[in-house]
């Protein structure tokens, strides 16, 4: 199954390092980041899950729940977590799904046979409170992911969902944004963007971030 942006993220019930998880119920009204790693007790994954734990407050401030996954067992996850805590100087507080039967991996197309027929690739899914997929990323096993970039994307999604803007290249929270081209009524623009805007072209109008 190939998931596209805007699709409803498949629901599932699966064991984890923190017990059974019914995915949609577990998400509730939160945003979610579901990400897979190839295997427990592997070096790149240890650094990734450690850094995710360090970002726990950042995710919480954005109303985001984080859920990791690999095809190892819940018992294996719970044996590995102390290594992550010790080597990365963190406390892993989020659950890690056990996907020994490949149920979730199959639902989310996380196993790519031409890369590895048995292990999950480094997949990432950002899911909104309506359970819609808003971002997908796939990395090779050898390349650790940039979780600061995931926070940046979440900031962009949450901003653009609530305001008539898009975020430009390399945007960071607090930078100027783009008024969407579909918004043309000057009175409405003045109401929504009281700080004004600079029109570099009729279709490229920069304005200060409206929620700052």
Q: How many distinct structural domains can be found in the chain?
A: 2
Check whether 118 has a pLDDT greater than 60: no
Predicted pLDDT of residue 117: 53
Q: Are 192 and 127 in a shared domain?
A: no
Q: Are 79 and 169 in a shared domain?
A: no
**Among candidate residues 15, 199, 22, 23, the one with its CA nearest the CA of residue 127:** 23
Q: Which domain holds residue 189?
A: 163-207
pLDDT digits (tens, 9 = 90+) for 48-83: 999 999 999 999 999 999 999 998 999 999 999 999
Question: Rounded to the nearest 5 degrees, what angle is found at the Cα of 47, between the Cα atoms of 3 and 52?
Answer: 60
From 45, 96, 111, 150, active-site residue: 45
CATH number at residue 130: 3.40.30.10
Q: Are 53 and 114 in a shared domain?
A: yes
pLDDT digits (tens, 9 = 90+) for 121-158: 689 999 999 999 999 999 988 899 999 999 999 999 99
Q: Are 120 and 190 in a shared domain?
A: no
pTM, two decimals, is 0.93
Q: State yes or no: is 143 an active-site residue.
A: no
């Amino acid at each position: 199954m190939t998931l596209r942006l805007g699709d409803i993220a498949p629901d599932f019930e699966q064991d984890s390092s923190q017990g059974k998880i019914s995915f949609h119920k577990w998400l509730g009204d939160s945003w979610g980041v579901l990400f897979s790693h190839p295997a427990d007790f592997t070096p790149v994954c240890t650094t990734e899950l450690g850094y995710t734990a360090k970002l726990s407050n950042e995710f919480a401030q954005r109303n985001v729940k984080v859920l990791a996954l690999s095809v190892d067992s819940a018992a294996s996850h719970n044996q590995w977590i102390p290594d992550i805590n010790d080597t990365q100087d963190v406390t892993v507080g989020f659950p890690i799904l056990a996907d020994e039967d490949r149920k979730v991996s199959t639902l989310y197309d996380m196993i790519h046979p031409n890369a590895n027929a048995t292990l999950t690739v480094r997949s990432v899914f950002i899911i909104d409170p309506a359970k819609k997929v808003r971002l997908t990323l796939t990395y090779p096993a050898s390349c650790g992911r940039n979780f600061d970039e995931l926070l940046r994307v979440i900031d962009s999604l949450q901003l653009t969902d609530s305001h008539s803007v898009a975020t430009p290249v390399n945007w960071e929270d607090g930078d100027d944004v783009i008024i969407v081209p579909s918004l043309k009524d000057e009175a409405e623009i003045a109401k929504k963007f009281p700080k004004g805007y600079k029109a570099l072209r009729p279709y490229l109008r920069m304005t200060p971030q409206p929620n700052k």
